[in-house]
């Protein structure tokens, strides 16, 4: 009896770490296939690429755990990058960064209010704002990159390439966010309410949880973090790019699901979503290093997403 119980406990624990195990397996496999994978340059590259997507995926996890969905994050990131660049050129770096994040938060607030208080389907709402926000970006920029006559302020551009303790500043951002927001999700009543609302809206409502406000708040987080990601991207690209962030929403959602979150809500963790981001980025990187044709890359990534989701369902069914 004792024996089976420890065995079962171990199996449960392992099953919870499937994303991490897959990531490690993927890294080992790639390293065996091509030595270039482990070169410092490549590893740094992966970290930096992952950092921006991780910030978006963290916000997306809030929404998905709360039982929702957000397609507008890519457009929101572009909006934030352009707004930040424009304000920065006028008034200064801090004001620019704040304006970018607030622009993202504002898009999130609109999404949240429409979805939570008007009961409009999240898929269709954020599909709408995705298109709408992209339109606004083109309107305010005239379709051209925002970098001013002499480029964005040097200190801001430096943020996209400087390091602290040997690690890119861009990478510190999601690392800090992960630590702080994981604490918010696990240890604060607010975080527990997000899980309860996503897991059983009616039960949460009948337990006195203000479910509409909770749901709306998850979209604000998601929008603001997409805004922050857009600002980071602007620093990296040294300009506000109106076309930036296309398809980011798909990668972010795939990463969150790869990390084991349920699209039905109530399940998911920020840390595992970040693992999911790494899986997506490492996979793309590996296929690149192996010189896989870019059309085939898409096919491969698609297969991985569907297979991972199917494996997850099979596991939870047994």
Partner 1 sequence: MPSAISTERISKHFGANRALDQIDFDVAFGEVHALVGENGAGKSTLIRILSGVHQPDAGRILVEGKEQRFAGPHDAIAAGIVTIPQELRLVPALSIAENIALGDLPVRRFGPMALIDRGRLREQGRAVLAQLDFVPDVDCPVSRLSFAERQLVAIGRALHRECRIFILDEPTAALEQHEIERLFSVLKRMRAQGTAIIYISHELDEVVEVADRCTVLRDGRVVASARRGSFAVADLISAMTGRVQDPGGSAPRALGPTLLHMQRGNDQPVSVHAGEMIGLAGLLGSGTEAIMRGLFGVLRPDAGISVGGEPRTLRGPADAIASGIGFSPGERALGLVLNQSVRDNILLASLDQVTRNFVVDRQAGDRIAAELIDLLDIRPRRPELPVRALSGGNQQKVLLAKWLARRVRLLLLEEPTQGIDVGAKAQIHALIRDFVTRGGGALIASSDLAELARLCDAVLAVRQGAITARLDRTAGLDDATLRTAIGA
Residues making contact with partner 1 (CB under 8 A): 1, 4-5, 8-9, 12, 187-189, 192-193, 195-196, 199-200, 202-210, 266-267
- Rounded to a whole number of angstroms, the minimum distance from the CB of residue 32 to partner 1 is 36
By C-beta, is 9 or 155 nearer to partner 1? 9
- Rounded to a whole number of angstroms, the minimum distance from the CB of residue 189 to partner 1 is 4
Please count the CA atoms within 13 angstroms of the CA of 17 that sit on its side-chain side: 10
By C-beta, is 5 or 291 nearer to partner 1? 5
By C-beta, is 23 or 211 nearer to partner 1? 211
By C-beta, is 216 or 226 nearer to partner 1? 216
Tokens 């897959």: give the residue. 22
For residues 137 and 133, what is the distance between their CA atoms, to the nearest angstrom? 6
- Rounded to a whole number of angstroms, the minimum distance from the CB of residue 9 to partner 1 is 8
- Rounded to a whole number of angstroms, the minimum distance from the CB of residue 78 to partner 1 is 34
The set of residues, in sequence order, having a beta carbon less than 8 Å from that of 23 and lying 6+ positions away, is: 275, 278, 279, 282
CB 250 within 8 A of CB 184: no
Report the 10 Å Cβ neighbour count for 208: 8
By C-beta, is 149 or 202 nearer to partner 1? 202
The set of residues, in sequence order, having a beta carbon less than 8 Å from that of 235 and lying 6+ positions away, is: 152, 156, 157, 159, 160, 170
- Rounded to a whole number of angstroms, the minimum distance from the CB of residue 104 to partner 1 is 25
- Rounded to a whole number of angstroms, the minimum distance from the CB of residue 4 to partner 1 is 6
175: its two tokens: 């690392």
**CA end-to-end distance (rounded Å), the chain:** 21
By C-beta, is 249 or 312 nearer to partner 1? 312
């Amino acid at each position: 009896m004792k024996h089976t119980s420890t065995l079962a406990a171990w199996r449960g624990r392992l099953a919870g770490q499937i994303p991490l195990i897959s990531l490690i397996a993927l890294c080992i496999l790639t390293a065996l296939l091509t030595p270039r994978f482990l070169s410092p340059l490549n590893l740094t590259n992966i970290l930096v690429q992952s950092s921006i997507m991780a910030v978006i995926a963290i916000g997306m996890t809030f929404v998905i755990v709360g039982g929702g969905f957000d397609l507008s994050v890519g457009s929101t990131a572009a909006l934030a990058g352009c707004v930040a660049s424009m304000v920065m050129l006028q008034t200064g770096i801090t004001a620019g960064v704040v304006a970018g994040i607030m622009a993202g938060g504002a898009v999130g607030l609109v999404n949240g209010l429409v979805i939570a208080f008007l009961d409009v389907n999240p898929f269709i709402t954020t599909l709408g704002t995705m298109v709408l926000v992209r339109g606004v970006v083109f309107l305010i920029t005239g379709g051209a990159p925002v970098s001013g006559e002499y480029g964005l302020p040097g200190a801001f551009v430096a943020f996209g390439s400087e390091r602290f303790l040997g690690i890119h500043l861009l990478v510190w951002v999601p690392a800090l966010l992960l630590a702080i927001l994981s604490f918010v999700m696990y240890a604060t009543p607010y975080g527990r309410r997000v899980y309860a609302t996503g897991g059983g809206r009616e039960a949460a409502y009948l337990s006195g949880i203000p479910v509409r406000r909770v749901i709306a708040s998850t979209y604000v987080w998601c929008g603001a973090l997409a805004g922050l990601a857009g600002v980071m991207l602007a620093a990296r690209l040294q300009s506000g790019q109106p076309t930036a962030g296309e398809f980011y929403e798909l990668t972010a959602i795939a990463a969150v699901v790869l990390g084991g979150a349920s699209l039905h809500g109530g399940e998911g963790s920020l840390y595992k979503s970040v693992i999911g981001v790494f899986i997506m980025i490492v996979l793309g990187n590996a296929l690149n290093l192996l010189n896989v044709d870019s059309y085939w890359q898409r096919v491969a990534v698609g297969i991985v997403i569907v297979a991972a989701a199917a494996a997850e369902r099979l596991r939870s069914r047994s």
